[in-house]
Structure 1
Amino acid sequence: MSNLKAVVVGDAMIMGDGFEQAARKNLGAYFSDVKMGNWEEDYPKLQERRLAVEKQGPEIEVVPEIVAKEGKDASLLAGLFVPVSSKVMDAMPNLRIAGVARAGLENVNVAEATKRGILVFNIEGRNAHAVSDFTVGLMLCESRNMARAHYSIMNGEWRKKFSNSEWVPELKDKVVGLIGFGYIGRLVAQKLSGFGVQLAVYDPFVDEAVVKEFGGRLVDKDTLFREADFVSLHARMSEATKGIVGEHELSLMKPTAYLINTARAGLVNEAALIAALKANKIAGAGLDVFSDEPLKADSEFPKLDNVTLTTHIAGTTREALTRSPDLLMEDIAKFLKGEQARFIINREVLENPEFKAWLAGVK
C-alpha cells in the first residue's frame, strides 16, 4: 500500500463524506490518509459562488479551509465545484492529481495545473441521461403549454388560449436541430427517435457518419436554424461557442420554432433572445440556464408568456449525483493501476519528469 494523502472537498450538492467513501473504496490501496471537508454547505450560496467561478474562473476564490489545513503534504485533490486555482496549488506543493466529479472544468485552472505537472481528471456523462431526459421534457412542456396550463389552474383559471394556439405542434415529422453532438446530444437524438422526428445536427467536430448512425444529417449552422422546428443546445462553453445563438441565428428561425437550452447560458445572447420572444419572431423558448442565477428582479424572462423557465435542474437527479464521486475515483484508480483511464484532460502531463518520478514511486 502506498502511504499517500488525499484531500476531498464536497459542497451542498455532493457533501464531502460522499467523496471520502468513494476515495476509500476505490483508492484505498494508494491513499491511506484521506482528509475530508466541504467548500460551501449552503445551497443558495453554492449556486452563487459556483456561477461566479464559471463566469470568472477559480482564481476569484480563496483557498478552502480544509486545503489550507491539510493540503501541504497531499498529492490528490478531488471534489465537485471546489475551485482548483493557482492559490490552491500553492497551498498543495505536492499535488499530482486533481479531479472534479463533473464534465465542466470552469472551476479548474487547467493551464496552471499542466504547467506544474498536475494531472487533471473530470467525468463526462455523469448527468447525461438526466439532461437528455429533461431536454425532451422541456420541448414538450414549452410547445404544449404544460407549465402555463398548470399555472392557470393553480391560480383559479382554466386557460385554453395560448400564444401558439394556432400551431401547437406534435413532434412527429418535426425537424429537431441539435447544436453539439457529444454524448448528451446523441442521447437526445436516441430518445427522440421514438417520436418520429427528423434530425439535423451542427457540430464542426463530429463525423457525418456518426450523425447518420443516429438517423440524422449533418448541416451548417444557418441551415439548421432555418429548417428546425426545435433548436436544442448541447455544445460546450468556449470562446468559439460563446453567443453562438445571437440576433442573426434567431432571425433565421421560423416564427413557429422553439429554442431549448439545457447546456450553458453563455451560448445564447439573452438580450437578442428576449427581443425575439417579445416580437414573436420565434414561438417560444425552454430555458434551464441563465447568465444570472437566480434571475434578477428586473429580468424580462418572467414577464414573457412564451417561455418555460426552470431553475438549472436539468442535470440534478439522485442517480447523477450519487454516482459521480465513484466515477471519478474509479477512473483515477484505473490510471494508477496502469489501465486505460477515460477522463484525463491534460495528457501532456504524463511526460512531465516530476510527474513521472512521482508515478513511478506510487507503482
Structure 2
Amino acid sequence: MPRKFKALAIGDAMIQGDAFEASLKARLGPYVDDLRVGDWETDWDRLQTRRLVVEKQGPEVEIVEPLILEQGGDAELLSGLFLAISSKVMDAMPKLRIAGVARAGVENVNVKEATARGILVFNVMGRNAEAVSDFAVGLILAESRNIARAHMAIKNGVWRKKFSNSACVPELKGKTVGLFGFGFIGRRVARKLSGFDVNLLVHDTYVDPAEIEAIGGKAVDKETLLREADFISLHARLLPGGVPLIGASDFALMKPTAYIVNTARAGLVDQKALVEALKSGRIAGAGLDVHPTEPIDPASEILELDNVTLTTHIAGTTREALTRSPDLLFDDIAKLFAGDRPVGIANPEVLQDAGFEAWLKGVRQ
C-alpha cells in the first residue's frame, strides 16, 4: 500500500480551488489522506495584475498565502495555477516534495530554490496549445483583413471601407508565414495554417529540422525568417535576462507589408521599436494579445495606432483549456507515483536527489 500524505490545493479566480480538489481526489486519491483547499486571488481583475507582476519580477514579490501558513507545515504536495510558490512558501512547508502548477509557464515558481531543496516542480505543457494556436491564426486574419476595425466602425455608425493597408490587403494563400518557436503551440499553428496553402518558415534552435520538414516547413535562421516572412507569429519563451527577441534592427529587416502577431510574452518584442515600426509604416500591422502593462496604460502610444489589433490576454482562455488543466497536472503526477514517466517536470534533476528518491520510494510502496 502507498504511504499517504497531506496536500494543499490553492486555486484562483481562473481555476478555483474546488476544481483542483475534484481532480486531485479522482487521480491522487490513493496517495492523499488529508487535502486542504483554498484560493489565492478570487477577484478576476486583481488576479490579472498580480500574475503579471509575478511573471515580470518572480514569485518572491508575493506574500505567503494564509492557508499555507496555517496548514502547510506538514504538507508534502502543493498545487495551484498562478499561486506564487516562493522560497518563503518553501520555508513554511519544510516537508514539501512536489509543487505543481496547472500551466505551461513556471514563472510563478522559484524553480532554482525548489531544486536546491529537493522539491520536484510539475507544470502542464501544452494545456492551452489548441486555444492559443486558434487565437494566433485568428489574429493573423483579424489584423490583416481589418476585421476588428470594420466591426468597431460599424458600431460607431461608420461604414468603413478604407484602411491603412487598403492598397495591399493580403490573402494567406501563397504567403510565407514565419514561426518563432516550434513547441506545442507553434506546431499546432503550423498544422492549422497548412489548410491555407502557405509557405512555412520556422526558427527554433532546439528542434530537429527534420521535424519541421516533416510537416512541409523549412528551418531557417532568424534573419532569413525576418526578411522573407509575410506574417510572423511568436511562440517562444522569454530570452535570458529579458532581452527582446524582436528589436529595432529586426523590424528593419522585415517587409513593409509584413505583419507580426504575439500571443506568447510581451517581453519578446521591444515595445518602443514596435510602436515606431507601426507608426512609420516600417511594417504593415501587428496583432497583440500580450502587453508590457496589463491593462494597457491609457497613455500608451499603441492605443493611437490604426494598424494594430489588441486583445486582453485571452488567447489561452477557453473552457476546455481551463477545465482540463488540473486533470493534466494530476494525471502526470500520478504517472510518477505509478512508476511511469511524467512529461511535465521542470527540474528533472531532482529525481536523482537522495532525499526525494527516498520519499518517492515510500509513496510507491
Q: Does the pair score TM above 0.5? A: yes
* CA-to-aligned-CA distance 1:165-215 (integer Å, 9 cap, x gap): 000000000000001111110100000000000001111111110110111
Instruction: Indicate if the aligned counterparts of 1:2 and 1:32 stay in contact, CA closer than 8 A.
Output: no
Q: For residue 3 of structure 1, report the CA deviation from its aligned partner.
A: 2.8
Distance 1:76 1:109 in 2: 15
Structure 2 equivalent of residue 171 of structure 1: 172
Structure 2 equivalent of residue 201 of structure 1: 202
* CA-to-aligned-CA distance 1:334-360 (integer Å, 9 cap, x gap): 101111111111111111111112112
- 1:99 matched to 2:83? The reply is no
Structure 2 equivalent of residue 331 of structure 1: 332
Q: Give the count of matched residue pairs.
A: 363
* CA-to-aligned-CA distance 1:304-327 (integer Å, 9 cap, x gap): 000000000000000000000010
Within a 5 Å distance, the mapping from 1:298-337 to structure 2 comes to: 298-337=299-338
* CA-to-aligned-CA distance 1:95-133 (integer Å, 9 cap, x gap): 000000000010000000000000110011110000000
* CA-to-aligned-CA distance 1:141-179 (integer Å, 9 cap, x gap): 000000000000000000000000000000000000001
* CA-to-aligned-CA distance 1:16-48 (integer Å, 9 cap, x gap): 000011111100000111100000000000000
SS, match of residue 201 in structure 1: strand
1:192 alignment partner AA: L
Structure 2 equivalent of residue 21 of structure 1: 22
Q: For residue 242 of structure 1, report the CA deviation from its aligned partner.
A: 3.1
Structure 2 equivalent of residue 86 of structure 1: 87
Instruction: Indicate if the aligned counterparts of 1:235 and 1:241 stay in contact, CA closer than 8 A.
Output: no
Instruction: Indicate if the aligned counterparts of 1:72 and 1:93 stay in contact, CA closer than 8 A.
Output: yes
Q: For residue 241 of structure 1, report the CA deviation from its aligned partner.
A: 6.9
SS, match of residue 71 in structure 1: helix
Distance 1:355 1:240 in 2: 30
Instruction: Indicate if the aligned counterparts of 1:117 and 1:352 stay in contact, CA closer than 8 A.
Output: yes
Structure 1 equivalent of residue 259 of structure 2: 258
SS, match of residue 276 in structure 1: helix
- 1:351 matched to 2:356? The reply is no
Structure 1 residue runs of 4 or more that deviate by more than 3 Å after TM superposition? none
Structure 2 equivalent of residue 232 of structure 1: 233
SS, match of residue 99 in structure 2: strand
SS, match of residue 72 in structure 1: helix
Instruction: Output the TM-score relative to the length of structure 2.
Output: 0.98
Instruction: Indicate if the aligned counterparts of 1:237 and 1:264 stay in contact, CA closer than 8 A.
Output: yes
1:270 alignment partner AA: Q
Q: For residue 61 of structure 1, report the CA deviation from its aligned partner.
A: 0.4
Structure 2 equivalent of residue 44 of structure 1: 45
SS, match of residue 275 in structure 1: helix
1:184 alignment partner AA: I
Gaps of 5+ in 1: none
Gaps of 5+ in 2: none
CA RMSD of aligned residues (A): 0.9
The share of aligned pairs that are identical, in percent, is 63
- 1:143 matched to 2:144? The reply is yes
1:89 alignment partner AA: M
Structure 2 equivalent of residue 362 of structure 1: 363
Q: 1:241 to 1:54 in 2, by over 3 A?
A: closer
Within a 5 Å distance, the mapping from 1:208-287 to structure 2 comes to: 208-239=209-240, 242-287=243-288
Instruction: Indicate if the aligned counterparts of 2:239 and 2:245 stay in contact, CA closer than 8 A.
Output: no
Structure 1 equivalent of residue 116 of structure 2: 115
1:55 alignment partner AA: K
Instruction: Indicate if the aligned counterparts of 1:95 and 1:118 stay in contact, CA closer than 8 A.
Output: yes
Instruction: Indicate if the aligned counterparts of 1:142 and 1:307 stay in contact, CA closer than 8 A.
Output: yes
* CA-to-aligned-CA distance 1:54-98 (integer Å, 9 cap, x gap): 000000001001111110000000000001100000000000000
Distance 1:112 1:241 in 2: 20
Distance 1:300 1:2 in 2: 58
Instruction: Indicate if the aligned counterparts of 1:152 and 1:158 stay in contact, CA closer than 8 A.
Output: yes
Q: For residue 236 of structure 1, report the CA deviation from its aligned partner.
A: 1.0
Q: For residue 240 of structure 1, report the CA deviation from its aligned partner.
A: 6.8
Distance 2:176 2:361 in 1: 53
Distance 2:298 2:287 in 1: 20
